[in-house]
Amino acid sequence: MAVTGANTIIAGVNKAGTTSLFVSLQAHPEVATSSVKETRYFLPARYGEPLEPASVYESYFAHAGDRPIRLEATPAYFYGGEPLVASIVDLLGSEVRAIVVLREPVSRLVSFFTFQKTRLRIPESMTLDEYLAAADRLSDADFADPANERYFGFRGGCYADFLPAWVAAFGSRLRVVFFDDLVARPEIVLQEVATWLGVDPDAFPAPDLSSENRTTGFRFRGFQRAALFANDRLERFLRRHPALKQRLRAAYYRINGRAAREVVPQTVRAELEERYREPNVRLAGQLRDAGVTEVPAWVPEPRGRPAIHRRSAAIARERRAPQRAAAGTLPPSERDQES
């Protein structure tokens, strides 16, 4: 019997705008979100461990009331394969929906790598080349240990290895969104997702996507460690008071923030693009088979298939120009580190 938990899950992927999408959907009057963005409730299934009692999951939605959509977002779910997908359906029922946000994998990898530094999980002095070498030394068995998730950056961009389990289990109840569209045409994406969820697409209080969880560097390591601890402890409270969270975050960035930009040598970028070529080709075929016909330019043509329609970048820019001028939102260059 399904429990009173989420009926919609943003299941992936990390560093692809999932926090911004979650917070923007949270503003809709017909959407109730979990008390923390990432409940991580189903993650044990990824590692072959048992789940906590269902009552624990229900507690994240104790405040949901009668709002028709109950939403959570744990982007690491995407990598859990059939066991994790099955655990979601078993607990939440066959009508549960999933949203997956995909991002050009090299850019996502760089953002993920930078994020691990800001979370103090890898040395600040580590280069991307050194990070990739360390990750390549890890086996499938090594990645069965959650402690090695920090080195999952490259594998996390091989979307074709993980998407089939979601397509097979969810079918039309799976929505694939692209980070490119979240940045270029946020209002349209939010309206499309709302329509798919069966709620009023015109009920959002703001027309643009909330800019959340951008990867920002730090000046003082001790101060950063304390801020991370406080953020984790206070997340439930801060999720209920987003305006306060924004003010606190802005004040902290003024004191201890700095730009977090990794310089990626062109040789490393070219190597990564080549390594992702085959997974991206497989992904293109999977998307086509799943009925996803509008894709960004980084998704190649599937072999032996009719051409996939690529949305014109110029049209996207034209669509977003008046919206962004009116809303005063961040340019894409400042959003490319989002989670």
Residues 3 and 36 in one domain: yes
Please check whether residue 125 lies inside any domain of the structure: no
Which of 196, 227, 259 is the last residue before a domain boundary? 259
State the average pLDDT over residues 148-167: 98
Question: What phi, psi does 102 have (nearest 5°)?
Answer: -110, 145
265 Rama sector, left if φ>0, alpha if ψ -120 to 50, beta otherwise: beta
What is the per-residue pLDDT for 224? 64
- The yes-or-no verdict on residue 324 having pLDDT over 50 is no
Number of domains in the chain: 2
Please check whether residue 298 lies inside any domain of the structure: yes
Residues 69 and 26 in one domain: yes
Residues 201 and 94 in one domain: yes
CA distances from 280 to 14, 136, 188, 288, 324 (A): 17, 19, 25, 12, 31
- Residue 217 CB contacts under 8 Å (≥ 6 apart), including other chains: 114, 117, 118, 257, 258, 259, 260, 261
Expressed as residue numbers, the domain containing 238 is 216-259
Helix (H) or strand (E) holding 70: strand 69-73
Please check whether residue 144 lies inside any domain of the structure: no
Contact yes or no for 275/293 (Cβ under 8 A): no
- The yes-or-no verdict on residue 247 having pLDDT over 80 is no
What is the per-residue pLDDT for 40? 95
Please check whether residue 334 lies inside any domain of the structure: yes
- Residue 123 CB contacts under 8 Å (≥ 6 apart), including other chains: 117
What is the per-residue pLDDT for 303? 63
Using one digit for the tens of pLDDT, what is the confidence trace for 193-207?
999 999 999 999 876
State the average pLDDT over residues 276-280: 97
Cβ neighbours of 26 (radius 10 Å): 17
